[in-house]
Amino acid sequence: MTQASGTKFDEFGVSPEVVARMKKRRSAERRFRLYGRFAVIFSVCALAWLLISILTTGLSAFTQHWIIFDVETEIWSDADKSDRQKITLALGQRLGAAEGRESGSELLQIVSTSAARQQLTRSQEQGANLQEPLIISVPVSDLSDQYLKGFIDRDSPESERKISDQQIRWIERLREEGAIQKRFNRALFLNPDSRDPERAGLATSIFGSIMILLIASGLALPVGVGAAIYLDSFAPQTGWGGRLTQFLEVNINNLAAVPSIVFGLLGLAIFINFLGLPRSIPVVGGLVLALRMFPVIVIASRAALQAVPASLTDSALSLGASRMQAVFNHRVPLAAPGILTGSIIGMAQALGETAPLLMIGMVAFVTTAPASPMDPATALPVQIFLWSGSAEAAWAERTSAAIIILLIILMLINALAIILRERLQRARKL
Residues 386-405 close enough to bind other proteins by CB under 8 A:
388, 396, 399-400, 403
Among 203, 210, 214, 235, binds other proteins (CB under 8 A): 235
Which of helix, strand or coil describes residue 136? strand
Phi-psi region of 358 (alpha: psi -120 to 50; beta: other; left: phi over 0): alpha
Among 358, 366, 401, 424, binds other proteins (CB under 8 A): 358
Q: How far is the CB of 197 from other proteins (least distance, A)?
A: 15
Residues 195-224 close enough to bind other proteins by CB under 8 A:
222-223
Q: How far is the CB of 224 from other proteins (least distance, A)?
A: 8
Residue 203 or 223: which CB sits closer to other proteins? 223
Residue 26 or 243: which CB sits closer to other proteins? 26
Q: How far is the CB of 301 from other proteins (least distance, A)?
A: 11
Residue partners of 380: CB distance under 8 A and separation at least 6: 202, 205, 206, 208, 209, 351, 402, 405, 406, 409
- Integer Rg of the chain from CA: 32
Residue 104 or 338: which CB sits closer to other proteins? 338
Burial string for 242-263 (b: 16+ CB within 10 Å, else e) reads: eeebeeeeeebeebbeeebeeb
Binding to other proteins by residue 298, rule CB under 8 A? yes
Binding to other proteins by residue 240, rule CB under 8 A? no
Beta carbons of 113 and 87 less than 8 angstroms apart? yes
Residue 212 or 359: which CB sits closer to other proteins? 359
Binding to other proteins by residue 231, rule CB under 8 A? yes
Q: How far apart are CA 317 and CA 311, in angstroms?
A: 10
Residues 246-275 close enough to bind other proteins by CB under 8 A:
247-248, 250-255, 257-263, 265-266, 268-270, 273-274
Binding to other proteins by residue 355, rule CB under 8 A? yes
Beta carbons of 314 and 240 less than 8 angstroms apart? no
Nearest Cα to 200, choosing from 188, 185, 208, 183?
Answer: 188
Count the neighbouring beta carbons within 10 Å of the beta carbon of residue 37. Answer: 10
Among 23, 323, 423, 426, binds other proteins (CB under 8 A): 323
Binding to other proteins by residue 26, rule CB under 8 A? yes
